[in-house]
Homo-oligomer: A and B are copies of this chain.
Amino acid sequence: MKKKEHKECLSALMPVRDTLDIIGGKWKILILISVWEGNKHFREIERSIPKISTKVLSKELKEMEINKLITRTVVNGFPVRTEYTPTPYSKTLRKVIKELQRWGLNHRKEVFGR
């Protein structure tokens, strides 16, 4: 019986891990906020996030597209523009991010004193 409880506890963690894979790491939330703010083009997003490299941005954008947080559309034109837009679905993360933010704010008080 104990074993069963244990397994259930672990399987309950899988979704948590999934979520952390998607918004965890150093850049994902930054990028999300950047596109939420209206930045659409690769260089635009790059410039909006201090210290990010093209390589990392490129990689992260791909992963975020796979995870349906952004849409990538190539606008066939003269300087070949690419547009990244947040999906409506990405907005469902707002609540999660708010919770993370709220807890983090309170935690500073708790650890470093008032």
A interface, CB within 8 angstroms of B: 5-6, 9-10, 12-20, 22, 24, 29-30, 33, 37, 48, 50, 66-68, 89, 92-93, 95-97, 99-108, 110-111
Contacts and interface: CB of A to CB of B under 8 A. Distances in A.
B103 A92 contact: yes
Instruction: Count copies of this chain in the complex.
Output: 2
Given A9-B33, A12-B101, A18 B96 contact: no
A14 B97 CA distance: 12
Contacts of A16: 29, 97, 100-101, 104
A14 B110 contact: no
The 8 closest A-B pairs by CB, nearest first: A15-B104, A19-B104, A18-B104, A15-B105, A19-B100, A99-B99, A16-B100, A15-B101
A2 to B, nearest CB: 10
